[in-house]
């Protein structure tokens, strides 16, 4: 999981700036549908989180991405971004 906090605004210590969290997951071939179902639940939970601004799912295109999914979560403040922290490996056989 990667987090990017925009430091161009030079937030003061103790501030709670907006944050974008990127989750990357590799999905085993043949398990894509199972992963998509799991992902649907994650996105539904994110939608209910305080400070949630939205998300994007970047699905692999052919074999170029090595079956890697990227999910971008946006939150209005860094303290809201803990939802995006998911286990590195899930029962769907994904791992980053």
* Higher-confidence position of 9 and 17: 17
Burial 34-45 (b: 16+ CB within 10 A, else e): bbeebbeebeee
Tokens for 53, please give them: 């601004």
pLDDT for the residue 92? 38
pLDDT for the residue 64? 66
**pLDDT, tens only, 36-91:** 999 999 999 999 999 999 999 999 987 666 899 999 999 998 776 664 444 443 33
All structural domains of the chain, each given as residue ranges with its CATH number in brackets, are: 18-84 (3.30.70.100)
- State the pTM of this model: 0.67
pLDDT for the residue 52? 93
Which of 29, 46, 56, 57 is closest to 81 using CA atoms? 46
**For residues 25 and 84, what is the distance between their CA atoms, to the nearest angstrom?**
12
Which of 95, 94, 78 is closest to 33 using CA atoms? 94
């Amino acid at each position: 999981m990667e987090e990017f906090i925009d430091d161009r605004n030079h937030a003061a210590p103790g501030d709670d700036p907006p944050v974008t969290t990127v989750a990357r997951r590799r999905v085993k071939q043949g398990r894509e549908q199972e992963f998509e179902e799991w992902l649907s639940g994650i996105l539904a939970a994110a939608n209910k989180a305080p400070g949630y601004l939205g998300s994007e799912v970047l699905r692999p295109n052919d074999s170029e991405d090595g079956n890697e999914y990227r999910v971008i979560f946006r939150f209005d403040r860094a303290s809201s971004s803990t939802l995006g922290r998911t286990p590195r490996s899930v029962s769907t056989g994904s791992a980053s």
